[in-house]
Amino acid sequence: MHNTICHVNEYDCWLQNRGTNSFDAGLAGILSTIVANEKGEVAANAVKELQRGLSRMFGIDSKITEKSSAACVRMGTVSSLPGIAFPPMKAEGFSIKSANGDFLIAGADASGLLYGVYRFLTELALGNTGPFDIVDAPACPTRMINHWDTLENFTRVARGFKRGMKGDSIFFKDGKIHYDPQRIEDYARLLASVGINLVSPNNVNVRGDAKFFITEKHLPELAKIAAILRPFGIRMMLAVYYCSSMAFGGLDTADPLDARVGDWWKKQTDLVYRHIPDLAGYVVKADSEGEPGPFDYGRTHAEGANMLARALKPHGGDVMWRCFVYDCQQDWRDHSKDRPKACYDIFAPLDGQFDDNVVLQIKNGPLDFQVYEPVTPLFGALKKTRHVLEVQIAQEYTGHQTDVAFLPYFWSTEVMDFDMKTGPNSTIAGMIEDGVIEGFIGVGNICDDNNWTGLTLAQANFYGFGRLGWDPKTRPQAIADDWARLTYGDEKVSAIAAKIQMDSYPALGKVNNPFGVSFMCKPDFHYGPSIEGYEYAKWGTYHRANHEGIGIDRTASGTGYTTQYSPEVDKMFSDPATCPENILLFIHRLRYDHVMNNGKTLLQNIYNNHFEGYEETRGMVDAWKSLEGKINDDYFNTVLERFELHLDNAHEWCDQINTYFRRYTGINDEQGRKIYD
Ligand code: GCU
């Protein structure tokens, strides 16, 4: 029997360069001529990208001409294709049509043309050769990656693997801006191919020399990076230090209402825009986890953000103002404070006080990118303030790019689909479609490893982030399937890889997040179990387990957190029988003998989930092993090596959590499975 091996190059992610095609001669002929008359930087790059993609992905050498009487690919922005009728297109949108033997790719604008090119290449790679009649556009205007890259190397090496939430930066190295221009271009291509149009390269905790990014010391180099991203329709943002006016501005204050501070930022920002004229603006983390902010001067976050916004306004820039603000100096003895309430308490009363170029950047959950959390109640509550949704693509709490965790599953089923019940179309996806939430921001998971993401299968998270930013109603199964087909080509291999992705998130939830109890992970490092690691810490991350029960009552009779939601959501959350089980112990304090909807006690359900979650993880590893000999060995083995660590980690979570609760309760698993003493 003839065994074909599926060859995958980990560097190319979902844009595999197969270099061959099985198109018939007619189709190959059409693809070998591209008619285009584009001059602008992005549109001209779109033409080049089509030529490059057809050559590298399918081995077709096409020529670019200004006209052709033969069947060909005709492409351009709507304004450069006079005489051809197109359906109405939204900004950054495109249409792909088959007409009179030609393929027509039209962009509403230059970015739309570029996205149309990638879509056309994707359709061909998925085996769809037409006829085409596609009209599409991104659901929201802001689709951004926030790199949390530091100038200093970030990686912690454990057991031979780069760990930490991702790995080292592609922009910085050893305290300096340091990058390979080709790599940045390849990165830009990956970003644009899934519709991402903004990148902030530096960490929101702006420390050390990164504070000087908005000075002559670093701007020339940053401008070079911006220039590499620009032809791909990608603009840069910079994370800035709130107290820059003191750090190097020669002032003794950063009080936003002190005119000297505003003036200083205006001048500094003028300088920044001389270097990067299309900078999209600043990302700011203020009054958060030790970072300074307006609270230090008795000012509100609206006053702080507006001051920066006014410096950016003449240049058309926005302030992305992060809402991750809470007291990180809590006393575990004090039950009166509840960290998840902070975001709403601080920002909801300020609705309407922000300038029109301030955009609040709100994490999906009120705690901190945990495996399961409710959706932050600020969504749906803000009526007069621009805002965006922030998720974490980097697997900080979800396995450090060592364990497989398909995050689009979570973003889609738990975040996008969640209905805040604040209006007629108040799911998060609905609010994105309606422009109420105007963007999707992801904390990036890209590093300088050859495969970009450390764990190769984590490429699916990067891909899926783009897909959901483009269309927040895309189903996770479709994302997993398309990612797998584009990556592996081979149908059987793809089906197995997609199934592994789809199985991964529920398995993760079962082993390390018992019904929404968070922060049972190792402090600081955030990989591996440490059940009481955060229990007596200052971070406000408590589960307060004792011999009778676990969790915090966050209903009206407890901390009152659920009252921050609409009455309907409050009601649903407040009854343990209707509260979504994934967040049951986030919202409620329950006894271990509480009987859940399946008729079993909470304790037995915790045991069941842990045994099952471990078995499901083992099933994923076995599924991967079944691909041995079907994928090139180097690719197969790098994934397998991480899977072995993943399985160890799941095992540890399972045993430690089961033992912890058995020790407290003295109650055995009803099925007599092994729980250690
Ligand atoms: C987490 C993370 C920090 C990060 C912070 C944030 O707490 O551990 O490193 O800075 O989120 O969102 O700003």
Domain CATH code at residue 124: 3.30.379.10
Give 174-212 pLDDT, tens digit per residue: 899 999 999 999 999 999 999 999 999 999 999 999 999
Q: What distance in angstroms lies between residue 290's CA and the mean position of ligand 1's atoms?
A: 11
User: Are the CB atoms for 500 and 403 separated by under 8 Å?
Assistant: no
- CB atoms closer than 10 angstroms to residue 611: 18
pLDDT in tens, 35-70: 999 899 999 999 999 999 999 999 999 999 999 999
167 and 204 housed in the same domain: yes
**pLDDT reported for residue 154:** 61
Same domain membership, residue 74 and residue 196? no
Same structural domain for residues 162 and 23?
Answer: no
pLDDT at 84: 84
Residue 380: left if φ>0, alpha if ψ -120 to 50, beta else—which one?
Answer: left
CB neighbours of residue 201 within 10 Å: 27
CB 498 within 8 A of CB 483: yes
Same domain assignment for residues 449 and 524? no
Which residues are near ligand 1 (CB < 6 Å)?
204-205, 285, 289, 324, 368, 396
Give catalytic status of residue 396 as yes or no. Answer: yes
Here the CATH number for the domain that contains residue 639 is 3.90.1330.10
Q: Are residues 434 and 542 in the same domain?
A: no
Is 230 inside a domain boundary? yes
**Domain for residue 480, yes or no?**
no
Distance 74 CA to ligand 1 centre (A): 47
Atom of ligand 1 nearest to the CA of 526: 8
Q: How many angstroms does the Cα of residue 363 sit away from the middle of ligand 1?
A: 11
Domain limit, last residue, from 415, 448, 474: 474
Question: Is 236 part of a structural domain of the chain?
Answer: yes
Backbone φ and ψ of 105, nearest 5°: -115, 115
Looking at 417, 449, 474, the residue that finishes a domain is: 474
Say whether both 522 and 634 belong to one domain: yes
Low-confidence ranges of the chain (pLDDT < 50): 1-2, 156-163
Question: 149: which strand partners?
Answer: 202
Domain containing 79 equals: 10-136
Q: Which of 136, 155, 189 is the last residue of a domain?
A: 136
Catalytic residue (choose from 396, 482, 570, 669): 396
Residue of 270, 289, 532, 628 with catalytic role? 289
**Residue with structure tokens 């002929």?**
29
Model pLDDT for residues 421-467, shown as the tens digit of each residue: 999 999 999 999 999 999 999 999 999 999 999 999 999 999 999 99
List b or e across 121-157, with b for residues whose CB sees 16 or more CB atoms inside 10 angstroms: bbebbeeebeebebbbbbbbebbbbbbbbbbbbbbee
Residue from 396, 445, 541 to probe ligand 1 pocket by mutation (most atoms less than 8 Å from CB) = 396
* Domain match, 99 and 195 both: no
Q: How far is the CA of 57 from the centre of ligand 1 (A)?
A: 38
> Could you tell which of 149, 205, 289 is best to mutate to test the pocket of ligand 1, judged by most ligand atoms within 8 Å of the CB?
289
| Residues 159 and 306 both lie in one domain | yes
Q: Distances from the Cα of 262 to the Cαs of 100, 213, 306, in angstroms?
A: 59, 18, 10
The reply to whether 569 falls in a domain is no
Q: Is 92 a catalytic residue?
A: no
What is this structure's pTM? 0.97
- Give domain status of residue 5, yes or no: no
CA distance 193 to 463: 9
- The answer on 168 and 258 residing in a single domain is yes
Q: Is residue 571 part of a domain?
A: no
- Asked whether residue 156 falls in the same domain as residue 117, the answer is no
In this structure, are 30 and 106 located in the same domain?
yes
Residue 497 lies in a domain: no
CATH of the domain at 288: 3.20.20.80
- Are 357 and 413 in the same domain? yes
What local confidence, expressed as pLDDT, does residue 524 receive? 85
> Tell me, what's the pLDDT at 79?
87
Which residues make Cβ contacts (< 8 Å) with residue 248, sequence separation at least 6?
211, 212, 215
Query: In sequence order, what are the beta bridge partners of 361?
Result: 322, 388
pLDDT at 155: 54
Q: How many domains does the chain have?
A: 3
